[in-house]
Structure 1
Amino acid sequence: MTFDLFMQYLTNGISLGSLYALIAIGYTMVYGILRLINFAHGEIFTMSLYFAFYGVTVFSMPWYISFAVAILMTAALGMLVERAAYKPLRESPRITIMVSAIGASFFIQNLAIVLFGGRPKAFPNVRLLTGVMQIGAVSLQRLTLIIPVVTIILLYTLLFLVHKTKTGMAMRAVSKDHETARLMGVDVNRTITITFGIGSILAAIGGIMWGAKFPQIHPVMGVMPGLKCFIAAVVGGIGNITGAVIGGFILGVGEIMLIAFLPNLTGYRDAFAFVLLIVILLIKPTGIMGEKISEKV
């Protein structure tokens, strides 16, 4: 393999890993607050693509306005899911909330099939994003370079929000103990809703860039990316934002490099994520950035 070809694969892997990272952050934020997985996150990712698609094709919005509206609508949908599927069961056993989350996932998935039909649709082509750049002998879509930059900017913005603002302080308090946070004057329900909204915004941004990179959308397209991004969050250390990003990059680069060096295994690229998950759980069950769990005597 030539150096130029290796760099082509590497940049594609970093770009894919950045998409995984954005979506994985949503999983890890919700887990950090509720200690539960938002199983509807992949479906929220899918809905962002449909919002953007219909904004351009049906309502004839400019792409940048349509994408902005889609991000806001996705945030509203994420908060609605929290209000409908999580909030009423806040004091219930965790298994009950988990079943409710799985139910929300299937509901959104089937609602999308009823509303939008099962036939795949072509995501709008934005020439500004999909245009090809030539760097030496390497040909890249502009989006391949834009995605990692957007991911890094959003990561630092989110870390600033969590560590330097009152909202972030409330999130950290709620993640430690709900009851103590309430006694300190934190509006726990509002904080959880905001967390779902932020996670959904990141899923929407990742979803729109995913649609621009892989321009075909259908109602169940969020299932496999959702699973992979959950794996990325676990690999990095679920509950840790930086860990989710690291896990996303490892997963994305690993998938592409598997294809590059072992092209005969291209059909097994999805299996790479599950093999990686098993290896990490065997070696370091808390993930790369996960906190060490001490046993209580």
Structure 2
Amino acid sequence: MEIIGAQVLNALMLACTYALVGIGFSLFFGAMDIVVFCLGDIAIAGAFCIMGLATLSGITAVLNGFLPQFAGNIIVIILGAAFAALLVTFMYRTVIVPFEGKNINASLLSTIAAGMAIRELLGIFYPEGRNPQAFPSLLPEGYMFNNTMLSYRNIIIIAVTVLIVLLLYWFVNKTKTGLSIQAISQNKEAAIMVGIDWKRMIILTFIIGGCMLGIGGFLTASYYGSLRFDMGSMYGMKGFCVAVVGGLGSIYGAIIGSLVIAVVEVCVSAFIPGGTAYASIAAFFIVVLFILFKPEGILGKKTVEKV
């Protein structure tokens, strides 16, 4: 039972690291019908920003001189999330807007190229950026209880993920702005006819999604305890996988998809000899099965296009 409990916790933690970037994919796809493939790299760039502020600039030491340690750490995390929001908004302006109304493949390729550019810039300009970096411990580790480490870090990662999902649910369903974003995703022309400023709503969607990605990158780096400039490639791919499994465009489907992918990876790693090397392959195989037999995903809706 202890083994099962440990694997359930591992699956839950892994799902939390995938959920936020998967929600980002669904959020942007729902708003624009475009898959933004550089989201994983933007999330990792946000984590690099947090690491740079915490270690290179020593801003946490300055803040901790005036504020409690946890307050200084929170400010650094907020700054990293704001950087990710600015970056994803810049990417929207530079690699998506120029191709609006044109060939959709051009937008997809431009976001892929943007992700490659972000990775290379991190590797070139961050000090020793191509080497694995030890991520600073900004979350409390926990304490020993009966020779067992009770991890505050894991609890905080789960709690923050749940809190972000709840806040996003409230924003999307209970605020005028959130309902306007839903209206644009459902019928852009009708939303414009009733006076919704769709450009402003799209920018706001990217800002909110960017902040969420920055926090997601921070939680992922805190969970693994290290950071690499090229982590965004696999992180983004896993986020896209959970969005496809859950239903691309469905925020709640991305949450379910993250649980499905996490459970598959943990089960393969834990119960198959040498399965760690095949965990990602198993996850991608599940995605292929969904694309073949249920392409709309678990909570996605089938669409009929009349010609």
TM-score bracket, shorter-length normalisation = over 0.9
Which of 22, 30, 44 is matched with 2:28 structurally? 30
Displacement of 1:176: 2.1
* 1:212 maps to amino acid: S
Partners of 1:98 and 1:184 lie apart in 2 by 30
Which of 260, 270, 276 is matched with 1:266 structurally? 276
Which of 69, 77, 97 is matched with 2:107 structurally? 97
* 2:255 maps to amino acid: V
Aligned 8 A contact 2:142 2:149 in 1: no
Aligned 8 A contact 1:7 1:138 in 2: no
Cα deviation code 1:5-56 (max 9, x no counterpart): 2101111110110111111000000110111111110110110111001111
Cα deviation code 1:136-169 (max 9, x no counterpart): 8864532222222222221121111111112112
Which of 268, 273, 278 is matched with 2:288 structurally? 278
Cα deviation code 1:177-196 (max 9, x no counterpart): 33332222212111111111
Q: Which residue of 1 aligns with 2:78?
A: 68
* Stretch of structure 1 that moved more, 143-152 or 212-221: 143-152
- Structure 1 position 51 matched with structure 2 position 49: yes
- Aligned residue pair count: 293
* Stretch of structure 1 that moved more, 139-148 or 85-94: 139-148
Aligned 8 A contact 2:42 2:88 in 1: yes
- Structure 1 position 244 matched with structure 2 position 254: yes
* Stretch of structure 1 that moved more, 179-188 or 67-76: 179-188
Q: Which residue of 2 aligns with 1:189?
A: 199
Gap regions ≥5 residues in structure 1: none
- Structure 1 position 120 matched with structure 2 position 135: no
Aligned 8 A contact 2:85 2:208 in 1: yes
Cα deviation code 1:198-243 (max 9, x no counterpart): 1121111111111111122121111111101100000001100000
SS of residue matched to 1:56: helix
Aligned 8 A contact 2:95 2:107 in 1: yes
Q: Which residue of 1 aligns with 2:142?
A: 131
Aligned 8 A contact 2:51 2:136 in 1: yes
* Stretch of structure 1 that moved more, 229-238 or 80-89: 80-89
Q: Percent identity?
A: 31
Aligned 8 A contact 2:253 2:300 in 1: yes
SS of residue matched to 1:263: coil
- Please give the residue correspondences for 1:78-227 in structure 2 after superposition, counting only pairs within 5 Å: 78-116=88-126, 117-126=129-138, 128=140, 130-132=141-143, 134=145, 139-227=149-237
Partners of 1:127 and 1:29 lie apart in 2 by 28
* Stretch of structure 1 that moved more, 119-128 or 153-162: 119-128
Q: Which residue of 1 aligns with 2:68?
A: none
User: Taking structure 1 as the reference length, what is the TM-score of the superposition?
Assistant: 0.92
* Stretch of structure 1 that moved more, 273-282 or 30-39: 273-282
Partners of 2:88 and 2:304 lie apart in 1 by 34
Gap regions ≥5 residues in structure 2: 61-72
Report the RMSD for the aligned CA atoms in angstroms.
1.9
